[in-house]
Structure 1
């Protein structure tokens, strides 16, 4: 069974919304668009494993995708965690493409070409081992026994090659070979396998502690983006244009004439990712390009944002809105 499904990280969604709201002529646009492309490619690689993982029966194991945890102040993220009665597998997914060579310390090096700069990727095997070590400690602190912990680095892109072949670590495999490796671990003898009930209980603990990264002040500060750098407004869910006007009850797109009652929720989610959970009615009015502050107050109230303070100290907590939390 899948306890945590694939879900695109908030930082990916933040970068995508910034490329929609920032003019292509802006000095930061190219860097943001490039990073979004890399992160989106990585997420597609993670999601591509779904086909092979469907081999396991619903009642056989528990899977958690995109699991983000914290142990003694150290944050760590696992692309896919497979809890099986006979083993626990941390799967690190890389969607690299092109020719890579393995460096002296296990790093992956992509040499410069006519179309791309040289780049060095950290050792993915050590990365997976670090994640596994933290995971085991996290679970054991909560009284959960970890059976046969394993790591696997999966190269999801068929257009990648590693050289020299004799230095490729045993736990680095291409995507088609991933299932066979998992089945090898399943065939091993295990004197005291876990029950599916125990695995579900452990998965519940992990899912409840899952804390995807969202800085208190949003991602904009990390990327040196100010409110003046991006265009306000509500993006049309139909055509993607930053061109929606608010009528009495609905938003209507000036470009495609699409009508939507709740389009402001996506814009308020953009604000939350960029600038954090706090917003004033005036800030909402300006960001949603409304004509009146009272109109912004009504929309904030309907969205489920919590009103905090009084008079000039009044602001709204956007993360109190279940609708916005779901969109993050």
Structure 2
């Protein structure tokens, strides 16, 4: 039974907007572009795992929760949580191609790509171990005691494992159901009603993670970003405010609400609040009154009384 599907991927959204507004020659452009593609690949892998679960059933009561973010003695995120009356399994998805070597001392994942370039990543085993501990504490605080296991799901078919993981098994998405069906079911830790009650409690306790503003997260100066209202048709910046909307001087595209998208990008990329001066700078406007009208037309929280102290905030 599927209780929770994937949430919106706010990290990817932030990386995409940051990549869009970073100049081509910026020193962080290549890194942000690479991180954006890695985030896309990760999401693809997690979606693949979710699709496998939708196709198969199990001969015992179970619930599946995808993309779970909780807090016990620290925030933690689980790609897929498989819950039964007998055990819980944390599935960590990895969409990585190439020759893979799971190192132990220190615990790292080494990847060699087709060009022979070697890269090092945090070990999925370390991630699983941390999540098992934090989930165990979260359950313990809630009065639940159940064995928790873990497995690494390798979602890219273009892999060759030279050194397999030692602590947790590495499986493919298609073998997920077989792996889970073969796990021992010797003792009942949760009655059926308690199992479904726990799943609902986890879903309700899920906390969306907003990694914003992206500039401070990645150490990028806001002044380095391209400003102006973005044209979604020709991908250029600098749409001009006209009566009734925004016009692109490059392709002629008209967009009545282009300012809303741009102001929201400010909150994603630069700051939790915006004032009139910052709005004029980011939208490339000259008029205080036009900027004020645009800000007041949006569903933003407003504070401050005088002309110079009014700030606006977007509640996620």
Report the 3-state secondary structure (helix = DSSP H, G, I; strand = E; otherwise coil) of the residue aligned with 1:235.
coil
Counterpart CA distance in 1 for 2:269 and 2:218 is: 10
Report the 3-state secondary structure (helix = DSSP H, G, I; strand = E; otherwise coil) of the residue aligned with 1:202.
helix
TM-score (norm 1): 0.83
Question: Which residue of 2 is the match for residue 95 of structure 1?
Answer: 95
Farther off after superposition, 267-276 or 307-316: 267-276
The CA deviation at 1:139 is: 2.3
1:277 to 272, 278, 292: 272
CA deviations over 1:129-151 (Å, ceiling 9, x no partner): 220220121122123x2544221
TM-score (norm 2): 0.86
CA deviations over 1:265-300 (Å, ceiling 9, x no partner): 332232112223211122122212334222222222
2:296 to 285, 301, 318: 301
2:198 to 199, 202, 207: 202
Question: Which residue of 1 is the match for residue 108 of structure 2?
Answer: 107
Counterpart CA distance in 1 for 2:7 and 2:33 is: 20
Counterpart CA distance in 2 for 1:156 and 1:36 is: 18
Report the 3-state secondary structure (helix = DSSP H, G, I; strand = E; otherwise coil) of the residue aligned with 2:182.
helix
Question: Which residue of 1 is the match for residue 52 of structure 2?
Answer: 52
Counterpart CA distance in 1 for 2:200 and 2:55 is: 22
Report the 3-state secondary structure (helix = DSSP H, G, I; strand = E; otherwise coil) of the residue aligned with 1:109.
strand
Instruction: List alignment gaps of at least 5 residues for structure 1.
Output: 320-324
Instruction: List alignment gaps of at least 5 residues for structure 2.
Output: none
Question: Which residue of 2 is the match for residue 244 of structure 1?
Answer: 239
Matched, 1:23 2:23: yes
Counterpart CA distance in 2 for 1:188 and 1:37 is: 40
Question: Which residue of 1 is the match for residue 80 of structure 2?
Answer: 80
CA contact (8 A) 2:53 2:177 kept: yes
With over 3 angstroms needed to count, the CA separation of the structure-2 counterparts of 1:3 and 1:268, relative to structure 1, is: farther
Counterpart CA distance in 2 for 1:84 and 1:249 is: 56
Counterpart CA distance in 2 for 1:115 and 1:296 is: 52
With over 3 angstroms needed to count, the CA separation of the structure-2 counterparts of 1:4 and 1:290, relative to structure 1, is: farther
Farther off after superposition, 62-71 or 250-259: 250-259
CA deviations over 1:94-117 (Å, ceiling 9, x no partner): 11110112324353222487453x
The CA deviation at 1:308 is: 0.6
With over 3 angstroms needed to count, the CA separation of the structure-2 counterparts of 1:79 and 1:240, relative to structure 1, is: farther
1:174 to 148, 159, 172: 172
Report the 3-state secondary structure (helix = DSSP H, G, I; strand = E; otherwise coil) of the residue aligned with 1:313.
coil
Question: Which residue of 2 is the match for residue 121 of structure 1?
Answer: 121
With over 3 angstroms needed to count, the CA separation of the structure-2 counterparts of 1:267 and 1:66, relative to structure 1, is: farther
Counterpart CA distance in 2 for 1:265 and 1:204 is: 35
2:226 to 203, 218, 231: 231
Count, aligned residues: 313
